[in-house]
Amino acid sequence: MKHFTTLAVSVLFCLPVLAQESAKPAGEPAKEDQEKGFVSLFDGKSFAGWQVKDNTPESWKIDGGLLVLTGGRSHLFTTEKFDDFIVRFEWRPVKKGYNSGFFIRGRSQIQMAQGGAGMLFGSKVAKGVPKLHNPPGEWNCWEVTCIGPKLSLKVNGKLAWEIDNFKPVRGPLGVEAEGHSIEFRKIRIKKLSKEE
């Protein structure tokens, strides 16, 4: 009877795991595989890896493991420059009317403003996708892939757009400060070789 009870308890504990495994779509890579090769650009404790200037504290702070854009006009850029990469991060505007931008390869910017979030400045094809974004107070997940002249954006797991005429070839990543409060977390990058 004791052995039967132990077996029954083991089965009960395994059922939720089995249910999760069966719920995962066939062929979908494990989360660890999806994150393979990615390294963090923000350690949650400091501005290590980012260009800090005298006016940086006017716009940025680190609070509770988050990189927080508090306002001001001091943009924040990585110290390292990148050519081909996949970058993933999550961002959450605090309230309506938010405005910011994500810089890639220098000063090329993908808009992070309400009503036009996702728009690549200077492109007639890469338009804003506000409907793919969650409302203020909720997190959004972005994935930006940049390989040679090819550039694409995924918002919350959905492809927003992709282009093949992106001109800048190398530069830092950055976040624009436009006087609005926005929080960032899980900023990570996978650098790609020219052959990929």
- Which helix (H) or strand (E) is 146 found in, with range? strand 140-147
**pLDDT computed for residue 149 by the predictor:** 97
Q: What is the pLDDT of residue 26?
A: 56
pLDDT at position 31: 66
Instruction: Identify the helix (H) or strand (E) that includes residue 128.
Output: none
> Tell me, what's the pLDDT at 35?
87
Which CA distances in Å does 51 have to 37, 75, 124, 139?
24, 9, 31, 25
C-beta separation of 146 from 155 below 8 A: no
Measured in whole angstroms, how far is the alpha carbon of residue 126 from the centre of its chain?
A: 18
Residue 34 DSSP code: H
Q: Residue 187 is encoded by which pair of tokens?
A: 């900023």
Neighbours of 145 (CB within 10 A): 17
Domains with residue ranges and CATH for the chain: 37-191 (2.60.120.560)
Q: How far apart are the first and last CA of the chain?
A: 59
Q: Name residue 102's beta-bridge partners.
A: 110, 175
Q: Residues in the chain with pLDDT < 70? A: 1-32, 194-196
Single out the residue of 141, 151, 74 nearest to residue 109, CA to CA.
151
pLDDT at residue 29, as a whole number: 57
Residue 25 is predicted with a pLDDT of 52
Q: How high is the pLDDT of residue 18? A: 43
Q: What is residue 73's predicted lDDT score, i.e. its pLDDT?
A: 87
Q: Quote the pLDDT of residue 34.
A: 79
